[in-house]
A and B are shown apart, each in its own frame.
Chain A
Amino acid sequence: MQNIELQPKTEIMPMKKNRFKKANPADVIFVLINTLILSFTVAITLYPILNTLAVSFNDGLDALRGGIYLWPRVISFKNYETVFNTKNLVIGARNSVLRTAISAVLHLSVTALLSYVLSIKEFVFRKPVSLFFVLTMYVNAGLIPTFLLFRELQLTNSFMVYIVPGIVSAFNLLVLRTYMSSLPDSLRESAQIDGANHLTIFWKIYVPICKPVFATIALFIAVYHWSAWFDNMIYNPRNTNLTTLQYELMKLLSSVTSQTSSGGAYGRGSQPVAVTPNSIRAAATIVTSMPIVILYPFLQRYFITGLTIGGVKE
């Protein structure tokens, strides 16, 4: 490169000026291309979501003409009205909220307690019990045996199938255990000398300290449960009282495909409607994704730490 000869000079200069001096043409081009690529990335990430948002606020029949990009052409709230008045979607939303909230709290607290126990280095069964759970990440019985077990346990056709499996996940356990192991032992020991039992220590000392990493794990669990539909389809396919938002959305998705491919006309019942399956799906998509999309930027700091714990540092 050309600035090799400049090197002795730049060394004498203070750092700040150095930066400007070094802006050689190659670097300028690099920054330009980089900016272009990253802007393009942002555009292709955001466009589909903004487009869905625009369609969801547009009149359904009008949307069929196409040409809606980032802004609705004929503004209408009918799609959202239909979504909030469709019984299955409302039931699905209730079930999704319930399973997400219950699982996030239950799974997190239970896994955290076990992580606490397994982070105690003196615990006699620390290693075998850890191995017992780590193995479950690699050895997996598969769909059929699991399905038969759940049927045997009467978990099928019940809300419990959303809550009970996966209470202890090995991955979450490892993240939490790594974090708790990094805390000083004296924290626990001094409390023990004062006569506190382990449950008290866990609740009064570890829970407050671990809040950031708990937030991360709770987010992981919540995202999983909010997006899940497979268990609904396999274990509770016919009971509409147990349907979830994602499963309803999936049914909408397949109905849209079958109807567009046959070129049929749309409409629900005898109502002379301005909504189409496609526009309803857009509205339902927005309703479904909003809670987490609004939430995650605030938790970003936490999940990055959560993901990198033990991942890179060592």
Chain B
Amino acid sequence: MTDNHKQNLSDQDERLAEENAAKKTLASIKRRELAYSKSSQKTSSGPNSDKSTALMSRKDKRKLRSERNAEPKVELSRRTMLRQRELILITIPFVLYGILFYYIPLGGWVMAFQKYKPQDGLLGSQWVGLDVFKHLFSEASFRLVFRNTLAMGIINLILSFVFAIGFALLLNEVRLRAPKRFVQTVSYLPHFLSWIIVVGIVRDMLSVEHGIINQILVGIGIFDKPLNFFSKPNLFWWIVGFSNVWKETGWNSIIYLAAITAINPEMYEAAALDGAGRFGKMWHVTLPGIKPTIFILLLINVGNVLNVGFEVQYLLTNGIVKSVSETIDIWVLYWGIGQGDFSLGTAAGIFKSIVSIILIYLANATAKAAGEERLF
């Protein structure tokens, strides 16, 4: 369920959540480093430090102490626990819930190292080491879905970034409030439609018989006759990519629009003095101004490349394009739930998680080498 839940949260939500988390870890690391440097200073100054603090007034000492513990440090003692028993009591059910729904399923990962049979259970099934993984990689269909997932992930990543940033930049240039607000409101609308509705719409728009896109393309003479978009395997990834753009561009632009408001207005005045026009300001001030935001979101999303999901591909596919439309998630659904091969399905899921972690580390290392904003 977590998997499905996560997928269904919009990309933006996930991105933000992870950004929040990332920022927090970053902040906490900084805090720890600060604390560390302070404590090392103290020890390095040796016995003298005691004397120096002894010379301080009590007020200064208190100030120093409060500086050191920007976050109140609470000792884990019976007394504090008794004092905070209400808080602890409230927390217990949540932790139990978390263990049951988020952590116990992780125990299911052992299935990937077993020839799991439901009647034998997790403990009684035969252990097979890495055989399941060997089977997984020797499976041609798995290599195919891995390629598809990666390709669609990369296409989606690039398209969604380019369009969301571009849209935010252009929208920011609208000076009249009412039209700006109107465009903004309209742009959020598709985010609130389910993928089922969006896929229906995409099918209608691209349909051979009366699809508006075919009508226009034939009308202006680009095509001789209507094209059946869904029978062309080389178009499928792009249909998915642009469906995603249609659905999420407005929503994804929210974060950039917010970042733009934080740019110092003096920068624009300076650019104007240098003779920059509207486009020049957008290109040389606004875009660099949101660069840190772009980088951090990009980093987080690189780790999500394999989570292109399931819904669009599952709903849009047909027999002709099956070889390019299936993703890892669909494959897991087919083999794991459909065919009952739980071990294989679990192994594919684990592989996906590992690749995601490697990707996020690589992206982070690249950002570090390039001296850009990074996650950790």
Interface residues of A (CB under 8 A from B): 1, 3-4, 7, 22, 24, 26-27, 30-31, 34, 37-38, 41-42, 44-49, 51-52, 66-69, 110, 113-114, 117, 120-125, 129, 132-134, 136-150, 161, 165-171, 174-175, 178, 197-199, 220, 223-224, 226-231, 234, 246, 249-250, 253, 257, 260-261, 281, 285, 288-289, 292-293, 296-297, 300, 304, 307-308, 310-314
Contacts and interface: CB of A to CB of B under 8 A. Distances in A.
Interface stretch (B39-47, B50-58, B142-150, B328-336): B328-336
Contacts of A139: 102, 106, 353
Contact of B108 (A34, A42, A145, A166): A145
Interface stretch (B123-131, B154-162, B200-208, B233-241): B200-208
Contacts of A249: 194, 196-197, 200
B345 to A, nearest CB: 4
Contact of A253 (B199, B272, B337): B199
Given A145-B106, A308-B254, A311-B255, 10 more contacts: A30-B279, A133-B98, A139-B102, A146-B2, A166-B5, A198-B86, A228-B8, A257-B318, A288-B197, A307-B16
Nearest to A55: B204
B90 interface: yes
A304 B200 contact: no
Given A139-B106, A289-B192, A117 B91 contact: yes
User: Which label, helix, strand, loop or mixed, suits the secondary structure of the A interface?
Assistant: helix
B196 A229 contact: yes
Interface residues of B, number: 110
B64 interface: no
Given A136-B2, A253-B200, A143 B246 contact: no
23 contacts: A30-B279, A47-B212, A51-B212, A120-B87, A122-B74, A124-B88, A129-B94, A132-B95, A139-B102, A140-B353, A142-B349, A142-B353, A144-B346, A145-B106, A145-B108, A146-B108, A223-B192, A246-B194, A250-B315, A260-B207, A304-B254, A312-B255, A314-B23
A224 B87 contact: no
Nearest to B256: A312
A263 to B, nearest CB: 10
Contacts of B76: 124
Given A52-B204, A165-B101, A223-B192, A143 B333 contact: yes
Contact of B192 (A27, A165, A296): A296
B86 A168 contact: no
Interface of B: 1-9, 12-14, 16-21, 23-24, 27, 71-72, 74, 76, 80-81, 84, 86-88, 90-91, 94-95, 97-98, 101-109, 111, 167, 170-171, 173-174, 182-197, 199-201, 203-205, 207, 209-210, 212, 246, 250, 254-255, 258-259, 262, 272-273, 275-280, 293, 310-311, 315, 318, 329, 332-333, 336-337, 342, 345-346, 349-350, 352-353
A289 B191 CA distance: 11
A227 B13 contact: no
Nearest to B272: A22
A143 B3 contact: yes
Contacts of B203: 253, 257
Interface centre among B80, B88, B101, B203 (most CB of A within 10 A): B101
B337 A300 contact: no
B179 to A, nearest CB: 8
A42 B4 contact: no
Contacts of A147: 336-337
A69 B216 CA distance: 13
A26 B17 contact: no
Given A143-B345, A296-B192, A311 B16 contact: yes
A134 B84 CA distance: 23
B254 A307 contact: yes
Contacts of B103: 136
A27 B81 contact: no
Given A7-B275, A27-B277, A167-B97, A143 B190 contact: no
A84 B287 CA distance: 50
A225 to B, nearest CB: 9
Given A27-B277, A47-B212, A281-B200, A144 B342 contact: yes
B311 A230 contact: yes
A296 B185 CA distance: 9
A247 to B, nearest CB: 8
